[in-house]
A and B are shown apart, each in its own frame.
Chain A
């Protein structure tokens, strides 16, 4: 059981592991007989989940990526509705009629997919995704640090 607990500690985020894993293992050695090894093991499992999901900051990256993927999907729909038509007919603005035409007949299916259009989409989608990930990560980082130091404000 000690080996399992040690593996569990090893799976924690590096910063937490460096700070507390040694003493947690020492406590496990001390308390396993009186409290039982299984409750300590399950407590360690809970700690593992909390550390990765709430404390390590990975959720920020996951949220940023999810929103970026959402943006890509929206961008894809936008490109299907407006982008390719504008490439073929740059002077004409999208109208309700053109959207209805697309909805009724799938007009976009008649236009060939060229390498230029794919490159155009790839550049904009990648750029948008990068900007969103970087922006959200920095914003959430400053947001968290502001919340952490809120108590030090003087009245």
Chain B
């Protein structure tokens, strides 16, 4: 049974970073923001509005779902999110697509230029 991920590709930069930040562990919103900033070495810092707009969309598409709050955290405003198996598949498909793009780009950049 092969699932069709093509309607979701390519992912927007925000969606890619959010899915990537949830690939390792379940996180709350602020945790996702911090992880995205870390992954991009501070070059991309989504605000809460951008983050939750994307999270809402990803939840509608069943790529992300809400996970139960760990018992150690008692702040009721914190909600935790996790990647679904379908979301993990979409992320893997996007990474494979990006790998192809990078490979192609490297080949083009390293090839000698020809006059047209």
CB contacts under 8 Å to B, within A21-43, are 22-28, 30-31, 35, 39-40, 42-43
Which of A57-65, A92-100, A145-153 is near enough to bind chain B?
A145-153
Q: Does the CB pair A44–B48 fall under 8 Å?
A: yes
Name B49's contact: one of A26, A35, A46 (CB within 8 Å): A46
Q: Does the CB pair A23–B77 fall under 8 Å?
A: yes
Q: Is B88 at the interface (CB under 8 A from chain A)?
A: no
Q: Does the CB pair B48–A35 fall under 8 Å?
A: no
**How many angstroms between the C-alpha atoms of A19 and B8 in the bound complex?**
24
- Chain A minimum-CB-distance residue to B90: A151
**How many angstroms between the C-alpha atoms of A25 and B7 in the bound complex?**
33
Q: Does the CB pair A30–B30 fall under 8 Å?
A: yes
**How many angstroms between the C-alpha atoms of A19 and B33 in the bound complex?**
18
**Which of chain B's residues have a CB closer than 8 A to the CB of A19?**
52, 56
Q: Does the CB pair B56–A26 fall under 8 Å?
A: no
**Which of chain A's residues have a CB closer than 8 A to the CB of B62?**
151-152
Q: Is A50 at the interface (CB under 8 A from chain B)?
A: yes
Q: Does the CB pair B2–A47 fall under 8 Å?
A: no
**Which of chain B's residues have a CB closer than 8 A to the CB of A24?**
29, 48-49, 52
Q: Does the CB pair A154–B2 fall under 8 Å?
A: yes
Q: Give 12 pairs: A residue, B residue, CB < 8 Å, sorted on A.
A: A20-B29, A22-B77, A23-B30, A26-B75, A43-B49, A43-B50, A44-B49, A46-B49, A47-B49, A48-B49, A151-B5, A154-B1
19 extra A-B contacts, CB within 8 A, seeds A26-B75, A31-B30, A39-B47: A20-B52, A23-B52, A26-B30, A27-B29, A43-B46, A45-B49, A47-B48, A47-B52, A51-B53, A55-B57, A148-B60, A148-B61, A151-B61, A151-B86, A152-B3, A152-B86, A154-B1, A154-B2, A155-B4
Chain B interface residues toward A at CB < 8 A: 1-5, 7-8, 28-30, 33, 45-50, 52-53, 55-57, 60-62, 75-79, 86, 90
Those 5 A-B pairs whose CB atoms lie nearest each other, nearest first? A47-B49, A43-B47, A20-B52, A24-B48, A22-B77
